[in-house]
Copies of this chain bind each other. A is one copy, B any other.
Amino acid sequence: MPVKPQRLTRKEYDARVPKLREELVQLQVQLKESPFKILLIIAGFEGAGRGEVINTLSGWLDPRGVETFALQEPTDEECERPFMWRFWRSLPTQGRLGIYAGSWYTEALREETFSHKAPGDIRHELERIRHFEKLLADNGTLIIKVWLHLGKAAQRDRLNTLESEPSTAWRVTPEHWYHYRNYDRISRAARLILKETGRPGAPWTIIDAEHERTRNVAVAKLILASFRAHARKLKPSPTARIPAAEKRLAARPLRPAGLARLRALPLDQSLSAIEYELKREKWLGRLNQAVRTANAAHRSIVFVFEGWDAAGKGGAIRRLTSAIDARHYRVIPVAKPTDEEKAHHYLWRFWRHVPRAGLVTIYDRSWYGRVLVERLEGFATGQEWRRAYGEILDFEQQLAEHGIIVVKFWLQVSKEEQLRRFRERESTPYKRHKINAEDWRNRRKWAGYEVAVGDMLALTNSSFAPWHLIPANDKRHARLTILKTACRQIETSLGGGI
């Protein structure tokens, strides 16, 4: 139950609003220069005035710095992706305030209250939401969540008042009265949601919505107070230098077992050209069939290719794609992020390429950069890259739960083999563009990368997105193993049903 604040008279309200507006616009000016964004989520009971609050706030704010997200029926492009995809794509750009008129909570509340599920069955959804908000909050986003509370009698009065005015009567639908009749049920669901998703970094503020003016001022004051508190405790900018001690830690394994597994991988298998030719056709055919079956069943496939420089990712991807209709796959080469990508959470640039139903996305390097190059080069702080393992598991789980088949490869070559290939690249005119000073620099950090790869293998191996370690000293052997492995995982996933 929210504390009922003193009601504001019209006169008091009119006296306070100009100051509030000025402060809000000042906030927006500061926000433009700030390295974070604000999400404002307005949820609450029907008739509590979510739309009115948003319109009032929008009138007070400079509309050029606001993005209002209205939850409509998901489009077919949205339905074909995991549930959270449409919220990822709705995130405001840097320096702007995102206001959510409908949010992930709207759906959760609807499901808990009106679906045929048992009470509390949405706990899994709520966990997903908690993760999503934590991930954004950890990234510096200020998340302000407002629950507009209305007692049962107050709800009835509000609906009656709206209905009695010709200018507002159209806003009251039978659904509103249905909500009123189910007040207790909705109230229970709301309590569950508030309890399960109120967390540091994304706390709920319950605001009594019975009195409109008081409600509007309370929301505005909450935004101002939250912004100030957030700006104060802002961490130093991400470009700040990582202390040497932390860098040394980055080179030490979290899970020595992963490193051991990597080192124990035998790399001496090989395949003759004739054997390869013979078997390749068979497996290409089988893969073609598997991908077509997946397509027909509207199951998407996400391939992740990671591996040492010159381990043969490009060649392996070419062989793999030769089995797939060109109209069905897309290769995403992961290099330097664009500035739009840099302005978002590091997973955003991968979410945006999640394939439509039945299609294939091949990531040539991936989100694992966070726990490899970013860990080693100090682009991510120790906290950030340690947190990433969980964030990545959660991301891949969402893909898998949506029915997407996630196939991950690590291409392993020995340090000697890499050297041989680097030298070959340098001495072959048409391969020279494939090698540069950075490759040599990375090579000097081999030991550190080995540790990071070991941790990655140990910490992000899951039943829904297992790692496949591919011995890649012999290219033919590696390519055939990749074909076979891809085939088997896709076939198993399809056999297992959706």
Partner-B contacts on A (CB < 8 A): 22, 25-26, 29, 51, 54-55, 57-59, 62-68, 70, 75-77, 99, 101, 314, 317-318, 321-322, 325-331, 333, 338-340, 362, 364, 430, 433
Contact = CB atoms under 8 A, between A and B. Distances in A.
Given A63-B321, A75-B77, A326 B55 contact: yes
List of 9 A-B pairs having minimum Cβ-Cβ separation, nearest first: A70-B327, A58-B326, A64-B333, A68-B326, A63-B331, A63-B321, A59-B322, A54-B326, A101-B327
B325 A51 contact: yes
Contacts of A433: 29
Nearest to A101: B327
A29 B430 CA distance: 9
A55 B99 contact: no
Given A318-B62, A318-B63, A68 B327 contact: yes
A99 B326 contact: yes
B29 A68 contact: no
A333 B95 CA distance: 12
Contacts of A101: 326-327
A59 B331 contact: no
A416 B421 CA distance: 69
Given A322-B59, A340-B340, A64 B327 contact: no
How many copies, total?
2
Contacts of A362: 63
Nearest to A319: B59
Nearest to A25: B430
Contact of A64 (B63, B75, B314, B322): B314
A317 B54 contact: no
15 contacts: A54-B326, A54-B327, A57-B326, A59-B321, A59-B322, A63-B321, A63-B362, A64-B314, A64-B333, A66-B331, A67-B330, A68-B327, A75-B75, A77-B77, A99-B326
A317 B64 contact: yes
Contacts of A330: 67-68
A339 B22 CA distance: 33
A61 to B, nearest CB: 9
A352 B421 CA distance: 43
Contacts of A314: 62, 64
A437 to B, nearest CB: 17
A362 B65 CA distance: 12
Contact of A430 (B26, B65, B75): B26
A59 B318 contact: yes
Contacts of A70: 327-328
Interface centre among A63, A66, A322, A330 (most CB of B within 10 A): A63
Contacts of A338: 338-340
Given A338-B340, A339-B339, 11 more contacts: A25-B430, A29-B433, A51-B326, A51-B327, A59-B321, A62-B318, A64-B333, A68-B326, A70-B328, A76-B76, A101-B327
Nearest to A57: B326
A97 to B, nearest CB: 12
A483 to B, nearest CB: 15
A362 B75 CA distance: 23
Contacts of A68: 326-327, 329-330
A31 to B, nearest CB: 12
Nearest to A321: B63
Given A64-B314, A317-B63, A317-B64, A430 B326 contact: no
Contacts of A331: 63-64, 66
A57 to B, nearest CB: 8
A315 to B, nearest CB: 10
A55 B29 CA distance: 52
Contacts of A29: 433
A26 B434 CA distance: 12
A40 to B, nearest CB: 11
A338 to B, nearest CB: 5
A339 B339 CA distance: 6
A329 B69 CA distance: 10
